[in-house]
Amino acid sequence: MACDIDFYPDPNVRHLATERAEHRLVGIRGAVLALGFGIVSFGDVGTVTGIVWNATLAFVGIIFISLVLDEIGFFEWAALHMARRARGAGRRMFVYIVLLGAAVSALFANDGAALILTPIVLAMVRALKIEERQVLPFIMASGFIADTASLPFTISNLVNIVSADYFGIGFTEYAGRMIVPGLISILASLGVLYVFYRKKIPQSYPAGELKEPAEAIKDPALFKLSWIILAILLAAYFLSEWLAIPVSVIAGAAAAAFLLAARRSPVIQTSKLVKEAPWTVVIFSIGMYLVVYGLRNEGLTDLLGGAIQTFADRGWPPPQEVWGCWRRSYPP
């Protein structure tokens, strides 16, 4: 998630990070065009900022937490544990990596899972010296599951937070409704990925080539402390609904705790970490939702909402009805 693309050592992962950065620029450009053509006003900017501020700041906090954990080897430690537990069975390791990606996505947001865990998995499977075509399933699975597993909690996806805030849904209520759909999505994704890549997944791999998980930990003291902070963080998320505290405040407090602890770590440069944080996501969030707000102003979201409601009530409408709905919304 870092703005500095050199954060990603592998060119394939760097390309993915570059694409995500370009996507953010598209949102910003769209907002500028929407303002220029009068689709939205400067007053709408304040309205949209009020809608997305909690999600945006929570996302930045979560990424700070993820970056600190990545620096101390937390995610690599977890990935190595999964690979060792598979005991040399390639398909079992594939399943374990997907489940790990799902857990990281649920707790550390989908983008964090895709752009932090993916390079770790890539380095790990390449260290096993398996064929290049057999590397692809693990990389694609890591990126794919990051999005499809981002359902169970509001913090799993920026859009989840925006939706929950808009409809006044608390963290616990949201989790109670979405954990089961999230699990179904994970299992369905695992099934699809397995069927699609089953012929490319290696039957076995030299587990002895993997380094010990403990070797991945760069700061044992901060690694132990991180478990305490994460436990408090998770508990605070569930309590936030009753305490009426925005998730951004909780994520921000945890990020501050990690950054303060990281200042004493010999392996982390906190100034570099702050510099590499995804600050552009703040502008992107406002810009992208400003574009959507502009579409609402022009009536497009009402049109789509009506079409979806028609489909839900009566099934897919005939083409002439869709055309009639369009003509009524946009008369010549």
Q: Write the DSSP symbol of residue 2.
A: -
- What's this model's pTM, rounded to 2 decimal places? 0.80
Compute CA distances 246 → 34, 202, 238, 253, whole Å. Answer: 30, 45, 11, 11
Is residue 54 classed exposed, middle or buried when 0-12, 13-18 and 19+ CB atoms within 10 A define those classes?
buried
Pick from 139, 131, 137, 169: nearest CA to 153: 169
- pLDDT for 36-65, tens place per residue? 777 878 888 888 888 888 998 998 899 899
Question: pLDDT tens for residues 243-299?
Answer: 999 999 999 999 999 999 999 999 998 888 888 776 776 777 777 788 888 878 878
Q: What is the pLDDT of residues 152-206, one digit of tens each?
A: 999 999 899 999 998 999 999 999 999 999 999 999 999 999 999 999 999 998 8
For the chain, give the number of residues. Answer: 332
Pairwise CA distance, residues 119 & 99, whole Å = 16
3-state secondary structure of 89: strand
Side-chain half-sphere of 175: how many Cα atoms within 13 Å?
Answer: 14
Give the integer Cα–Cα distance in Å for 144 and 127: 22
Lowest mean pLDDT among 17-26, 89-98, 185-194, 202-211: 17-26
Q: Give strand pairing partners of 204.
A: 89
Q: Phi then psi for 89, rounded to 5 degrees?
A: -90, 115
Nearest to 241 by CA among 179, 173, 170, 176: 170
Query: In the structure, what pLDDT confidence band is assigned to residue 128 with cuts at 50, 70 and 90?
Result: confident
pLDDT band for position 34 (cuts 50, 70, 90)? confident
State how far the Cα of 167 lies from the Cα of 163, in Å rounded to an integer: 6
